[in-house]
């Protein structure tokens, strides 16, 4: 028959031809029989103990015997990004800072901590690349999204998927204006309005805020506090077109806040930010865990 190899079998009371795999088994039996007989008839009365190799089952392995298969890479360029994602140890138990009491929210460009952590934040939401969901799901790192209502309301489900992949949703105004010098009523409407909308849509009211462009004044911080949020944030590094730009030094420091945006080069920016954190020996952590 085509595709099969056969071998002759002799001296075992069988005639004809059998498959090679059967002849191998027969040969083992013959060898064992001969050895046992030889030892028993050697006059020494010793019994031979023969250790045979464990049989390897030819069928499918039991579920518990299978090694955990690595999740296959996505096709095309996205797979190459996924393959380069760094792996991080778990973030340590947080040692948060305490926002001073008073009528104004706290203001931070970084968190004063000795924990080996950094914070990746992503602003706005205008560009909604599908690979962002895949990359965040694969990276398994926490990020903080400061979302602008007018940027996301055309596709809020996109950010639900990001939230489910490990992102925390915080507020970034309704329409993304510069707040510096604007009236209290204007700022409160933008700040409270964004927190209210995000709470209704995602089931959690933001407790952190980032002013558009990083522009704020005393009125901003008072409105943030009056809108029920405890702190507002600037940043220490920015990422754009796959390049990390440092305000000080050439490496990410513990407690640094990294800013990126939902832009066309999201995959390059996300990979660059995580690579910079990893090279610094740090782990991404949840920004909200570090503010009381």
Neighbours of 176 (CB within 10 A): 20
Same domain for 35 and 112:
no
Same domain for 264 and 188:
yes
Q: Residues 106, 100: contact at Cβ < 8 Å? A: yes
Q: Residues 83, 222: contact at Cβ < 8 Å? A: no
Q: What is the mean pLDDT of residues 267-278?
A: 98
Same domain for 34 and 173:
no
CATH of the domain at 119: 3.20.20.370
Residue 63, in any domain of the structure: no
Same domain for 30 and 105:
no
Burial label for 33, CB within 10 Å (0-12, 13-18, 19+), is exposed
Same domain for 45 and 101:
no
Give the predicted TM-score (pTM) of the model. 0.76
Same domain for 276 and 140:
yes
* pLDDT reported for residue 9: 34
Residue 65, in any domain of the structure: no
Task: Identify the domain containing residue 201 by its residue range.
Answer: 97-290
Question: Which residue's entry shows tokens 């040692």?
Answer: 95
Over the stretch 66-97, which tens digit does the pLDDT of each residue have? 333 357 888 888 999 999 999 999 999 999 99
Residue 222, in any domain of the structure: yes
Residue 258, in any domain of the structure: yes
* pLDDT reported for residue 143: 98
- In DSSP terms, 17 is beta-bridged to 8
Q: Which run of H or of E encompasses 118?
A: strand 117-124
Count of domains for the chain: 2
- In this structure, what are the phi and psi dihedrals at residue 254, rounded to the nearest 5 degrees? -55, 130
Same domain for 103 and 179:
yes
Same domain for 19 and 121:
no
For the chain, percent of residues with pLDDT exceeding 70? 76
* pLDDT reported for residue 76: 85
Same domain for 113 and 26:
no
Same domain for 125 and 11:
no
Does residue 140 carry a pLDDT above 50?
yes
Q: Which of 83, 119, 94, 84 is nearest to 208 (CA)?
A: 119
* The pairing of beta strand 143-147 with beta strand 208-209: unpaired
Residue 60, in any domain of the structure: no
Residue 79, in any domain of the structure: no
Does residue 64 carry a pLDDT above 60?
no
Alpha helical stretches, state H, 59-155: 77-84, 130-139, 149-152
143 vs 129: CA distance, rounded Å: 16
For 125-247, strand residue ranges (E) read: 143-147, 167-171, 208-209, 231-233, 237-240, 243-246
Over the stretch 141-174, which tens digit does the pLDDT of each residue have? 999 999 999 999 999 999 999 999 999 999 999 9
Same domain for 229 and 145:
yes
Residue 41, in any domain of the structure: yes
For residue 207, give Cα distances in angstroms to 216, 230, 242. Answer: 17, 6, 29
CA 137 to chain centre: 5
Residues 6+ apart with CB under 8 A from 144: 119, 120, 121, 122, 167, 168, 170, 208, 286, 287, 288
89 vs 43: CA distance, rounded Å: 66
Same domain for 46 and 106:
no
Over the stretch 205-254, which tens digit does the pLDDT of each residue have? 999 999 999 999 999 999 999 999 999 999 999 999 999 999 989 999 99
Q: Residues 251, 112: contact at Cβ < 8 Å? A: no
Residue 57, in any domain of the structure: no
């Amino acid at each position: 028959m085509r595709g099969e190899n056969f071998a002759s079998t002799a001296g075992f009371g069988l005639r004809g031809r059998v498959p090679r795999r059967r002849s191998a088994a027969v040969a083992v039996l013959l060898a064992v029989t001969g050895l046992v007989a030889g030892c028993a008839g050697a006059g020494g009365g010793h019994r031979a103990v023969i250790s045979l190799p464990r049989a390897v089952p030819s069928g499918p392995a039991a579920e518990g015997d299978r090694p955990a298969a690595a999740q296959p890479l996505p096709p095309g360029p996205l797979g190459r990004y996924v393959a380069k994602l760094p792996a991080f140890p778990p973030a340590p138990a947080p040692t948060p800072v305490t926002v001073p009491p008073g009528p104004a929210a706290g203001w931070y460009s970084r968190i004063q901590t000795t924990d080996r952590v950094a914070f990746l934040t992503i602003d706005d939401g205008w560009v909604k690349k599908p690979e962002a969901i895949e990359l965040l799901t694969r990276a398994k790192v926490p990020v903080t999204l400061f979302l602008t209502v007018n940027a996301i309301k055309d596709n809020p489900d996109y950010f639900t998927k990001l939230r489910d992949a490990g992102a925390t949703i915080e507020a970034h105004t309704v329409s993304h204006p510069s707040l510096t010098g604007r009236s209290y009523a204007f700022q409160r409407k933008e700040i409270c309005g964004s927190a209210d909308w995000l709470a209704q849509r995602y089931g959690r009211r933001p407790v952190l805020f980032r002013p558009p462009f990083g522009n704020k004044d005393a009125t901003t911080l008072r409105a943030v506090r009056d809108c029920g949020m405890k702190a507002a944030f600037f940043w220490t590094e920015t990422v754009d077109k796959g390049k990390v730009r440092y305000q000080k030094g050439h490496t990410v420091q513990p407690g640094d806040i990294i800013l990126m945006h939902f832009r066309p080069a999201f995959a390059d920016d996300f990979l660059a930010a995580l690579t910079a954190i990893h090279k610094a020996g740090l782990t991404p952590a949840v920004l909200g865990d570090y503010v009381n």
